[in-house]
Amino acid sequence: MKDFFYAIQDLFVNVLFAPFDALRALELDSWFGANAISWIFSIIGLVAMVYWMKQLKGFNDNNEEDKSISSHSFL
């Protein structure tokens, strides 16, 4: 049973968190490089949020959502 938990530890420490360790090592070598990668991820997240909001507005403008009150009468 102990080997199972060591396997989970090894998976997270050596495999899944490896990109974070590489980013931490890059920050020690090049602060601007690490921040550039962070900005790239932030821009990707911003673009995804704008796309999602545009899709929600499109569905709202087409009145495709059922907005009838059915679960609670006080709403």
Please state the length of the chain.
75
Report the alpha-carbon distance of residue 20 to residue 36 in Å, rounded. 15
Q: What is the mean pLDDT of the chain?
A: 89
Query: pTM here?
Result: 0.63
3-state secondary structure of 67: coil
Q: How would residue 65 be classed by pLDDT, with cut points 50, 70 and 90? A: confident
Q: Could you count the other beta carbons within 10 Å of the beta carbon of residue 13? A: 11
Alpha helices in 12-30 (DSSP H): 18-29
> What single-letter amino acid sits at 24?
R
Looking at the predicted structure, is the pLDDT value of residue 75 above 60?
A: no
